[in-house]
Structure formats: C-alpha cells, structure tokens
Structure 1
Amino acid sequence: MLVYILGVVLFALGICVSVALHEAGHMVAAKSFGMKVRRYFVGFGPTVFSFRRGETEYGLKWLPLGGFCDIAGMTALDEVTPDEASRAMWRFKTWKRTVVLAAGSFTHFVFGFIVLYLMAVTMGLPNLAAKPVINTVSDCVRSATTAEEWNDPTCRPGDPAPAKSAGLRPGDEVTAIDGTPVETWPELLSAVQSSSGPTEFRILRDGEPLTLIVDVPRVERPDGEGGTERVGAIGASQAGMLTYGPVEAIGGSAAFTGDLLVMTWERLLEFPEKIPAVIEAILGEERDPETPVSVVGASRIGGEAVEHGLWEVFFLLLASLNFFVGIFNLLPLLPLDGGHIAVTWYERVRDWIRKLRGKAAGGPVDYTKLNAVTTVFVLIGGAIVLLTVTADIVNPIRLVPQ
C-alpha cells in the first residue's frame, strides 16, 4: 500500500511540475516580448508564500492543482494601470500574442519529449511499429502437438537451437531474410515460417550491418483448429521495448513523440462517444479501459504502475497526459488558450479585410459577447470532469484485475 501511495504522490507531483511549466512558458514568452507579468503562482487557494522580484510576484498556493500567470492586458477588457497601458498584451502584434498563448502547450510537448528521451536511454520505448528486433534467443525449438507443449520452454536432448547457434543476439534488428527485406515482426515471422534449411539473415547490430546463416528447421505446431502444421522456426522473440544510445534516442524519441501525438489526437476525436461508457461504469457496468480518465484516475493508474514495478507504464502515462493537455489546450474554444489564439487571429483577418475595403481597424474583440458560449463550454467541461472523477473513484481502470 505504501508503494502505491508513493506512486500516486509521484504522479501527482509530475502533474504539478507540468502545470508549473505551462504557466512558466506563458511568463517567459511574455517577458521576452516586453509584456508586463504581474504574478506567477503555482496552485490555487490561500497563499503559502510569495516574493517579489522586479515587477513580478512569484508564489505558491495551498492547492497544487493548477496555477496562473497574470499578464497585464491579456484582453482589452482587463483593467490596466497607466504605467501598464503601453505594455498591455492586447497591444502587441498578433504573432507575439500567439507565441505567448501557445507557449503553455509547447512546454507540455517539451516535457513529454524529455520524459520519452529519458525512457529511451534507460528502460526503452515501446515497439509500436513492431520492428523486427530480437528480445530473447531460445535454447531450442521443438515440435509440439498441443498448446501446452508449444509453450513449454523445456528443451530435450537433440533439440536444435537455430538462432542461438547462428549467433543472433538480443537487440539485433533483422532487415532481410533470404534477400527479402522485412520491416515488421509479422513479416519476419512469415518469412521464417516459410523457410527451411540454411537461410541468410541480414541484421543490424549496434548500427553495423551483418550477415548470418541460420539453419531453419521445420517443426510441428498446433494450428489453432485442433490439428497441426509444419513451419520454420528459429527460437527468437520480439522486443517489446527498444533501447537507444544518447544520440540515437533523440531521433527515436522524436519519432515516438510524433506517434503519440497522432494517437492522442485520435483519442481526442473519440472522446465524446466514450462519455456514455463512463456513465455506464458509474452505474456498475464493467469499466472500458479505453474510456477517458481524470487526473484522479491517471494518478491511481500511476500508483498501481509503481506498485507493480511497471515504471515504463508510469512514465508513458505521464508523457501521454502532457501531450493530451497540450493538444486539448490548443482547441479553438474559450477559455482555453486556443480560444484566445482564435480570437486573436479573427481580429487580424477581420482588420485585413477592413483595410482592403478602405476601413479602419475594428479594434479588440468584446469578450463579453462571447460569455454565453464560454459559459456553456465551461459547464460541459465541468460536467465531464465530474463524471470522470466519479467513475475513477467508484469504478477505476486497473492495470491488474483484482
């Protein structure tokens, strides 16, 4: 239980760090353009401590569930003092305001990338692309007529060990078999199963190309339909995690980040249709592991991952959560940063059209006219948060069934 609690605390701390970095991104970008940043606080509620450095007050509040960066004149409706007027955010060029507004999401992407990079050079990254990289090399391969015999690792005298005898090692990436390129593990399996006798394997080992000759035996195995079939086998398993050197990890982490961003966007598009399943879970139905989770649910999963020593799940979840928040925050909906960016560019395009028509600029958007839309979005968002938190308390997603 203590390990579980530690995992929950660590994951919550990771979320707090990402939130602090989000607001720091806004602050650093705003200061770099000369905008006035009044306050930078981590958390909400009563103030634990604060101090002033220059024109900005920095501090920590009791509830570390968010934070804020108070930039003078973020909209034309914000009150500013006479000395702040010339440095009000709304007076700056569109591209500068866009950079400041997007800087928060940018920090989530950077934070997620750093987490993945550290994973790549230590525990490795998941082999999502099913690359034909070898994880283990078996001591033997043998025929079997039942699933139990096929899964039994016990070797008998005389059983061949084709992969081991040929010199294949964990970490080798197979690039071609008998002259035919292979790019995925299923392609490797298909090529091996149709092979027989001495077969040329081209591999990459530590980035260096090698050619090995593997004497592929034909073995009998269950065909899944009550019978058996004869196939080629070499005695090697696929690597589920891919490790990288410090330099290689940059490219590997960047590619994996791209894959996760695409997957995150797809999950975001599926988000609305998953809400009914969350309601059903609250009412007692089995919880679909693909349903949305709240920060509470993510922290519980993080704690369970630490409890069972699944640190790769812990860090992947932390990176994925940051990517989700980064993308979600850029949606063109108020009060999200993406909504403010949309309004900023609406002003720019509107004034450009007015200029073509010989008219003066229209001035800043009156945000009060958007209050109704903003309120609806906030209410919907609040309802979804309430639903997911409730589901994560009464019927949480678990890594290990209980």
Structure 2
Amino acid sequence: MGSYLLGVVLFALGIAATIALHELGHMSAARMFGMRVRRYFVGFGPTVFSWRKGHTEYGFKAVPLGGFCDIAGMTNQDEVTAEEAPFAMRNKPWWQRIIVLLGGIIMNILLALGLIYSVAVGYGLPNPNVDLTATVGETGCVAQKQVDAQTLSPCEGEGPAAQAGVAPGDKIYSVNGQATPTFQDVATEVRQHPGETVTLEIERDGQRMEVPVAVESVQRLNAEGQSVTVGAIGVSSAPFKDVILEYGPVDGIGATFAFTGQMLGATMQGLAAFPAKIPGVAASIFGAQRDQESPMSVVGASRVGGELAQRDSWPMFVMLLANLNLFLALFNLVPLPPLDGGHIAVVLYEVIRDRIRKLRGLAPAGPANYTKLMPLTYTVAMLLLGVGALVIVADVVNPVKLFG
C-alpha cells in the first residue's frame, strides 16, 4: 500500500509540474518578446498563497487541476493601462503572438522528449519492428474448466493441437481462412469454434501448410466472471524476442525522436476517438465495464501511476507521464477557444483578413473582436468542465485498472 500511495502522490506531483511548466512555456516566450506577464498561477479557485516579483504575481490556488499565465492585452477585450500598452500582447507582431501561444505546447513536447529519452538510456524502448507473428511456444493438454481468474483445472496428455501435429516454433497465419496476425487473434478465433474442426495455416521451416485441428469445448470465465463454453486447442505463445531495445546516450537521441513520433500518431488517434468514448465513461459510472483505453482525469491517471509504482514499473510510470504531456500538447492545438489552438486560429484569421484588406487598399482592422466568440468560448469551457467532472466521477467509482 505504501508504494501505491507513493506512486499516486508522485504522479499527481508530475501532473502539477506538467501544468506549471506548460504555463512557464507561455510566460518565458512572452517575456522573450517583451510582453507584460501579470500573473502566473498553478491551480484554480481561491488563492492559497502568492508573492510578487517585479510586475508579476506568482502563486498557487486551491484546486490543482490547471493553471494560467495572465499576459497583458492577450485579447482586444483585455483592458490595459497606458503604462502596459507598449508591453501588451495584442500590440506585438502576429508571429510573436503565435510563438507565445505555442509556448506551452512546445514545453509539453520538450518534457515528453526528455522523459522518453530518460527511459531510452536508462531502461530501453519498445522495438517498433518486433515480430508479433503468432508463434507457438508450447503445446499441451486442455483444461476443461477455469477455476478463477488465475487458475485452470488440472489436465494431462496431449491437446488437440499436438495431436494434429502442431509443434513449437510453428507460425500460425490464419484460422479457417481468417487472418490471425497475433497470437491473441488465434485465441479469439479458436474460442468461437468449440466442438468443431478448424484449419490452421502454419509455416514451418519456411514451408506453408494447412493443419486440421479438432477444437475441444471447455468452460472459461468471461469478463463478468460467468462460465461460458468456448473452444481451446492447447497451444501457448512463444515469448517475443528483442521486445525492448537498449540505447546509449547518443543513439538514444534518434530513438527518442522516432518513438515520440509514433506516440504522437497514437495520441492523435486517441484524441480523435475521445468524443466517442464519453458515453462509455458515463455508462461505467452506473456499473458498465470500464474500457481500459477510456479517458482518465488527474484522479484516474494518478491511480494508474500508483498501480505502476506498486509493481516497480517505473519505466511505464515515466512513459505514462510522457504520454500525458503529448496529449496535452495536441489537445491544446484544437482550434477552439479557450484552448491555445483557438487563440492561434484568431491570430491567423487577423493575418489573413488584413492581407486581404491590404490587397483592397484598406488599412489593417486591428485585433479581432473576441466578444463575438464569447458564446462559443463559454460553450466549449462548459463542455470541458462537464466532461472533466464526468471523468473524475468515473475514476472514483469505476476506475481504470491496468492489473485487474
């Protein structure tokens, strides 16, 4: 329990640090271009404590679920004093404003790169080219019943696969013509044919052949713990080779960038699937099974961090934090206010609009009127708050569990 709580606390602190550094990215870029930063806070709600240095107030607020960096004149609706005007963000060149808006996103990506690099040189990274072909490791007897989640009933003798001539080292490419790129695919397909004969397409010593196998009917427990009849043939998967590749300080750099690119691609797919997963999260609050790949809040992610720490899975702990940074980076690029991407979209709109006006012989129109965007901004903000609250509740009553 102690290591679990340590993991929860450490991951929560990691999230808080991620938020703080995201806002630091905005603040650092703003100061680089001579913009006035009024406030830099981690958290929302009532102020716990704060201090002032120069023109900036720093502090922490009671709810550590976010943060903000208040830059003078960020929008046209932000009133600035005569003294602040020369340092107002809206009075700076458009490209400087975009860099400032990208500052937090860039910081998240840099953090992810640093975390992934530390895993690359300290432990190793997953091999993207590992051979996942379904390969038989052992053949054996088939247990007739499943006692619990970890235990099968005793059995002896040869199972259907061994009796049919399937041997260790055979690669299984299909079952009844259905492609099975992984061993899990083989198991899934065989389970659907209890008491039937299936044809395995296997490769042995470079030669392809078809092997008919009589599938046994056995009892196994489903996800709800109910006993169901499925098929089994008595084969187990061979361990994968070179799953983790170790790197030195130099070759780890290239590996880090390559792996980060893969993670960004997977994160983009996850972000695109995000809205479709919300109904499942809501259903899990009322007892439905929680999808392990469903969205998690700070609460859920910290609990997963605790599970990883409890099992000394520190590389996975660090990679989870890196993945969080990549998700925040891409999520903030969504072109909707109040996200960074929404503000960037407004700046780009101003640039395009003013260039069109220039072609028409007109003067620049100045900063966009954010008043017209307020309904959209409030709607998006309320949706984010609502979804955030929903996911937090789900993480409390039916959390994602990596290890059952």
What does 1:250-269 align with in structure 2 at a 5 Å threshold?
250-269=253-272
Q: CA deviation at 1:398?
A: 0.4
| 2:93 corresponds to | 93
- Distance, in Å, in 2 between the alignment partners of 1:371 and 1:74 is 15
Q: Give, in angstroms, the shift of residue 364 of structure 1.
A: 1.2
CA distance in 2, matches of 1:236, 1:271: 33
Q: 1:286 aligns with which of 281, 284, 289?
A: 289
From 302, 309, 312, the equivalent of 2:312 is 309
Q: Which amino acid in the other structure matches residue 131 of structure 1?
A: V
Residue equivalent to 2:114: 114
The farther-off stretch of 279-288 and 256-265 is 279-288
Question: What's the counterpart of residue 22 of structure 2?
Answer: 22
Distance 1:224 1:97 in 2: 68
**One-letter identity of the residue aligned with 2:130:** K
Residue matched to 2:149: none
Q: Write out aligned runs for 1:351-370 (5 A).
A: 351-370=354-373
Q: Indicate if the aligned counterparts of 2:48 and 2:60 stay in contact, CA closer than 8 A.
A: yes
Aligned to 1:31: 31
Amino acid across the alignment from 2:369:
D
Q: Pick from 205, 218, 228: which aligns with 1:194?
A: 205
Distance 1:286 1:359, change over 3 A: same
State the SS of the aligned residue for 2:64.
Answer: strand
With over 3 angstroms needed to count, the CA separation of the structure-2 counterparts of 1:185 and 1:381, relative to structure 1, is closer
Question: What SS does the corresponding residue of 1:238 show, helix, strand or coil?
Answer: coil
Aligned counterparts of 2:140 and 2:182: Cα–Cα separation in 1: 24
- Offset of residue 332 of structure 1: 0.5
The CA distance in 1 between the partners of 2:131 and 2:124, in whole Å, is: 15
**2:130 aligned with 1:131, yes or no?**
yes
Measured after TM superposition, the shift of residue 55 of structure 1 is 2.7
In structure 1, the partner of 2:80 is: 80
Q: State whether residues 130 and 243 of structure 2, in contact with CA within 8 Å, keep that contact through their aligned partners in structure 1.
A: no
> 1:144·1:222 contact (CA, 8 Å) conserved in 2?
no
Distance 1:142 1:393 in 2: 40
Q: Does the C-alpha gap of structure 1 residues 191 and 363 become closer, same or farther in structure 2, counting only changes over 3 Å?
A: same
Distance in 2 between residues matched to 1:109 and 1:149, nearest whole Å: 54
Change (3 A) 1:110 1:149: farther
For 2:375 and 2:137, how far apart are their aligned partners in 1? 70
The 5-angstrom pairing of residues 330-349 of structure 1 reads 330-349=333-352
Structure 1 residues not aligned, in runs of 5+: 134-140, 152-161, 163-183, 197-220, 229-234
Deviations 1:137-179 (A, max 9, x none): xxxx99856479999xxxxxxxxxx9xxxxxxxxxxxxxxxxx
How much does 1:236 deviate? 7.2
Relative to structure 1, is the Cα distance of residues 285 and 89 closer, same or farther in structure 2, using a 3 angstrom cutoff? same
TM-score (norm 1): 0.75
The C-alpha deviation readout for 1:343-387, integer Å capped at 9, x for no partner, is 011011001111111122122111111111111111211221121
Q: Distance in 2 between matches of 1:375 and 1:54?
A: 32
Q: Which residue among 287, 297, 300 is the counterpart of 2:300?
A: 297
Separation (CA, whole Å) in 1 of partners of 2:315 and 2:212: 34
Percent of aligned positions with the same letter in both sequences? 50
Q: Which residue of 1 aligns with 2:68?
A: 68
2 CA distance for matches of 1:61 and 1:19?
A: 13
Residues 1:18 and 1:349: Cα distance change in structure 2 (over 3 Å): same
Query: What RMSD over aligned residues (CA atoms) do the two structures have, in Å?
Result: 3.2
Q: What's the CA shift for 1:27?
A: 0.7
- Relative to structure 1, the CA distance from residue 143 to residue 98 in structure 2 (aligned partners, 3 Å threshold; closer, same or farther) is closer
Q: How many residues align?
A: 332
Q: Which residue in the other structure is 1:385 paired with?
A: 388
Query: Which amino acid letter does the alignment assign opposite residue 73 of structure 2?
Result: G
Cα distance between partner residues in 2 of 1:244 and 1:113: 15
2:342 partner SS: helix
Q: Structure 2: which 5+ residue stretches go unaligned? A: 143-154, 159-168, 170-180, 184-200, 217-231
- Matches of 1:42 and 1:111, distance apart in 2: 17
Q: Is the 8 A contact 1:44 1:62 kept in 2?
A: yes
Distance 1:25 1:273 in 2: 31
Q: Answer yes or no: is 1:322 the counterpart of 2:321.
A: no
Offset at residue 286 of structure 1 (A) = 1.0
Matched-pair contact (CA < 8 Å) for 2:130–2:240:
no
Secondary structure of 2:291 counterpart: coil
Instruction: Return the offset for 1:288.
Output: 1.2
- Report the AA paired with residue 194 of structure 1: D
Aligned partners of 1:332 and 1:340 also within 8 Å: yes
